[in-house]
Structure 1
Amino acid sequence: MIRSAAARVLFGNWTGHSTVPSHSLYPHQWSWDSAFIAIGLRHLSPRRAQIELESLLGSQWSDGRIPHISFSPSVARDAYFPGPDFWQATTSGGVETSGIIQPPVHALAAWLTHEAAPEESVRRNFLPRVYPKLVAWHAYLRTRRDLGGHGLVAIVHPWESGMDNSPAWDAALARVEPAPLDSFTRRDTDHASDADRPTDLDYGRYVQLAGTYRDHGYDDATTPFEFALEDPCFNALLIASEHALASIASALSLAPSPHLKAAAELTESLASLFADGTFRVRDLTNGELVAVDTIAGLIPLLVPRLPQATELLATARGPRFRLGEAKLVPSYDLTGPAFEPGRYWRGPSWFNTAWLIHRGLTTLEQNALAEALREDVLKLAAGTDFAEYVDPHTGEARGARDFSWTAALALDLERS
């Protein structure tokens, strides 16, 4: 039974206050991982799901940002690169973190966690404690990160998208002079095949971008960003989380209207990224949409009352992604020139993006497609020992095993 197997993974990766994605490959707390993990944990222990999110919010910066990694002091400082010594970022509460961010799934996760056990949530005063922190997080994104003036949030590092080596970033990254390979030591390839991971050239550019941001004090106003793009996935998740914040506000007898207004404005602005039946990233260096089609462009399917939903669904079902035919949903255009079925975000299918697409299909009342995707998630999660991601053609396991968000989201869909 998938419930007991998923519980084994989640309890095995629990540290006492949060859940690592993978003890070997990712031994700290990751931002959007914890949000997805909480969505599954709520079915096993609503209290633990709440603690997962509270722990992450404990690493929030004074400017409102939620960093993409909260480092565990019990893990060796060089166990992961870039580690705390590279980032040189410590909160006022003494938590060492990274300086960049990840997609804002957190308010959605908080609302779903509350719904799983409202009485426990009220008893622990969960929503009143997390709501102001989530409001500050969204305010940071909508003000300091509207770098293009289009009403959309910009990412300033590929890691901020959560889709690190997506082909959508290739052109922008090509402008970045990579850090010398002898200036850093990768740790990810100690635990995963080189063929599954980003290349050394990619990593050199990631390090260079992160180092520049660090050296400018993580100041969004003064850092000379070589990489700044508006990502449709990031912004779609912010829209979904603004709707969730509206629900949280209502539950607290507060006005939901500011969050609904923000969601409406973001949805309207998101339309400027729509082209050729999908949403694309905008490169703020030249103001152009990048003609590369990835799973990021399909995630807006979960946006309520999305005007482009019919066209977007047709693209998802078409030859580029073959929704309903491929395993889960490929991370990159199956017909694209950069497609690689096993290399991280350049083709493989991921369980977290499949969960998001499933949520969108359910919202659109595409019940047959949603059920087929749900069954695919459950079968592949169980059959691959909860792999990090899979080959979109064969379903072969790739990356880490016993991966936390795979277990969590399979558990959530098993219960749906």
Structure 2
Amino acid sequence: MAGRDGGLADDIDMITPAVATARATAVLEANWRRSHTLPASGLYPHQWSWDSSFIAVGLSLLSPRRAGQEMDALFAGQWPDGRLPQIIFDPHRDEDYAPGAAFWQSTSLEGAPAKVETAGFVQPPNHAWAVWKIHQADPGESRRRAFLERSYPKLLAWHNYLVERRNRGGSGLACIVHPWESGTDNSPLWDSAMQRIPTDCRTPLHRPDLQHADAGERPSQKEYAKYFWLAERYRDHRCDDVDPNYPFLLEDPLFNTLWALSEYALADIAQDLGFPSSVHVQRAQSLVAALDELFIPELGCYAARDATDGTLVRKATINGLIPLLLPGNSRAGNLLDTLTGPRFMGSGAVMVPSYDATASDHDPALYWRGPAWFNMSWMIAEALDGLGRTDEAKALRNNIWLLAASHDFPEYVDPWTGAAHGTRKFSWTAALALEAATDRSMQ
């Protein structure tokens, strides 16, 4: 596997699972800030929602107590309406990221936390899944700290928010209201919807991200103008989710798959606590059934649906493969064919591309428009394990920890050469590399 300059890392032959674990642990220690982990100390100086869940999965192998603290810190920013915000801001680092706390002014909004500055947006709901994994890492420690007891009502409120406030299309699926909420910010899935978004935002476009990553690896200034316009629109409606003519409402297969998976996890949590679990199983099953409407046979994967007009976005992305995680998914065979075919791994990739490798606008270096991300490949490996394809899962996991540790834990990589892109010492890369390097025969 190649490095950033196309050559192999100097010490790649010396990297073992133990070496990868030690290096990953050092990254997580360096990015720890008393109660939570920064995604990356330069580019991402606050706490991010779904990042913390992925990070906590890795942390649970080092310290279940610290993994629990990671989630507790996130829950501390939960809004009264149940939403878990995309970002909890460090007030001392507001100039290091845009849009920051000064943009959102959340503490002045009725219905937002009074003492914690947050964004108004959310991110994919992988939190209950993470909480259950943390508990499983050390059930005794979890029970001593009443981790499930205090997490369950917060997770329940979060999922109820999605039911009550985000079913904007009426299908039962949650709508995202901004590309940032998907976690796959500039995915081709959002291109059509973003064409109708103006570029005349009122906020000056401050781009501290370009101090930490090459402009060719990040969304353009024009895209950022649209992102800010849309964020202004949502903020100016007090983040109330009832703006009747809101122009960006997308049902994302990734977001809704993680919601369904987390409903199944909530069922496990409820059962462990002696609470009824059937409501969570039923909700998960309803989400799986609704997701089936997003499957496009000719693509062999799921797509996003624009809830403003009901159209499906006919593009094959990693978002559309993540439903492989869902237990008993009747489309698993189709998804496996697509995963192993020329659009994704069949082209000789060592990690899963984020976008159709056969598409004319595929770019293996540009954010979510082609590169491979460690969290996505890790979730595909989890899915392969669940389907009994353990050899394929092991091969993908080996590539995860080896590429991560040999290139200083990059944000994302070229799917074929392994060339590193984005920032380095990225926390979920470290956390999931640590998890991938763990001897699963010991679990």
| TM-score, scaled to structure 1 | 0.98
Q: Structure 2 unaligned segments of length 5 or more: list them.
A: 1-18
Deviation digits for residues 85-135 of structure 1 (CA, Å, limit 9, x no counterpart)? 111112434000000010001000000001111111111111100100000
Q: Which residue of 2 aligns with 1:409?
A: 432
Partner deviation per Cα, 1:161-205 (whole Å, 9 max, x = no partner): 000000111111011001359722111111110000001111000
**Comparing both chains, which one has the higher relative contact order based on Cα–Cα distances under 8 Å and sequence gaps of 6 or more?**
2
What secondary structure, in the 3-state scheme, does the structure 2 residue paired with 1:103 have? coil
In structure 2, distance between residues paired with 1:414 and 1:253: 34
Q: Does structure 2 retain, via aligned residues, the 8 Å contact 1:156–1:229?
A: yes
Q: Size of the alignment, in residue pairs?
A: 415
Alignment of 1:245-324 (within 5 A): 245-275=266-296, 276=298, 277-322=300-345
In the alignment, does 2:256 pair up with 1:238?
no
Q: Aligned letter for 2:135?
A: H
Report the TM-score when normalising by structure 2: 0.92
**2:116 matches 1:95:** yes
Determine the structure 2 residue equivalent to 1:64.
82
1: distance between equivalents of 2:378 and 2:246? Answer: 32
Q: Matches of residues 9-408 of structure 1 in structure 2 within 5 Å? A: 9-75=27-93, 77-90=94-107, 91-180=112-201, 183-222=204-243, 224-275=245-296, 276=298, 277-322=300-345, 325-408=348-431
Residue 87 of structure 1 aligns with an amino acid whose one-letter code is W
3-state SS in 2 of match to 1:96: coil
Tell me, in whole angstroms, the C-alpha distance in 2 between the residues paired with 1:112 and 1:92: 28
Structure 1 stretches of 5 or more lacking a match?
Answer: none
Amino acid at match of 1:157: H
Give the letter for the 1:16 counterpart.
R
Shift of 1:325: 2.8
Quote the Cα distance in structure 1 between the aligned partners of 2:339 and 2:202: 38
- 84-93 or 126-135, larger mean C-alpha shift: 84-93
CA distance in 1, matches of 2:133, 2:269: 10
Give percent identity, aligned residues only. Answer: 50
1: CA distance, partners of 2:351 / 2:416? 10
Q: Distance in 1 between matches of 2:407 and 2:347?
A: 20
Report SS of the residue matched to 1:97: coil
Give the Cα–Cα distance (whole angstroms) in 1 for the partners of residues 379 and 139 of structure 2.
Answer: 23
CA 1:258–1:28: 2 relative to 1, 3 Å: same
Letter in 2 for 1:38: A
* 1:137, distance to aligned residue in structure 2 (A): 0.4
Q: Do the aligned partners of residues 252 and 79 (structure 1) sit closer, same or farther apart at CA in structure 2, a change above 3 Å counting? A: same
For residues 323 and 335 of structure 1, the distance between their equivalents in structure 2, rounded to whole angstroms, comes to 11
Q: Secondary structure at the match of 2:61?
A: coil
The one-letter amino acid paired with 1:348 is P
Supply the RMSD in Å over aligned alpha carbons.
Answer: 1.2
Structure 1 residue 365, shift from structure 2 partner: 0.7
Q: Deviations over 1:260-309 (max 9, x none)?
A: 00000000000000002110000112211111111000000000100111
Q: Match of 1:15, as an amino acid?
A: R
Contact 2:404 2:430 in 1 (8 A): yes
Q: In the alignment, which residue of structure 1 is the partner of 2:8?
A: none
For 2:229 and 2:329, locate their aligned partners in 1 and report how far apart those are by CA, in whole Å.
Answer: 37
| In 1, Cα distance between equivalents of 2:70 and 2:204 | 35
Q: Deviations over 1:330-387 (max 9, x none)?
A: 0000011221110100000000001111111111111121111111111111111111
Contact map agreement 1:65 1:101 (CA 8 A) in 2: yes
Report the CA distance shift for 1:399/1:223 in structure 2 as closer, same or farther (over 3 A). Answer: farther
Q: Which runs of 4+ in 1 moved over 2 A?
A: 90-93, 179-184
- Structure 1 residues 323, 68: CA separation in 2 closer, same or farther (over 3 Å shift)? farther
Query: For the residues of structure 2 that align with 1:372 and 1:320, how far apart are their CA atoms?
Result: 19
- SS of residue matched to 1:119: helix
Per the alignment, do residues 323 and 252 of structure 1 end up closer, same or farther by CA in structure 2, a change over 3 Å counting?
A: farther
Distance 1:73 1:375 in 2: 39
Greater shift, 377-386 or 206-215, is seen at 377-386
**Which residue type is aligned with residue 194 of structure 2?**
L
Distance 1:197 1:340 in 2: 12
| Greater CA drift, 334-343 or 10-19 | 334-343
Partner AA of 1:354 in structure 2: S
Change (3 A) 1:323 1:412: farther
How much has 1:220 moved relative to structure 2?
0.8
Say if 1:59 and 1:66, in contact at 8 Å, map to a contact too: yes
C-alpha distance in structure 1 between counterparts of 2:244 and 2:22, whole Å:
47
Distance 1:323 1:42 in 2: 33
Taking the aligned partners of 2:346 and 2:266, their CA distance within structure 1 comes to 30
CA contact (8 A) 2:125 2:259 kept: yes
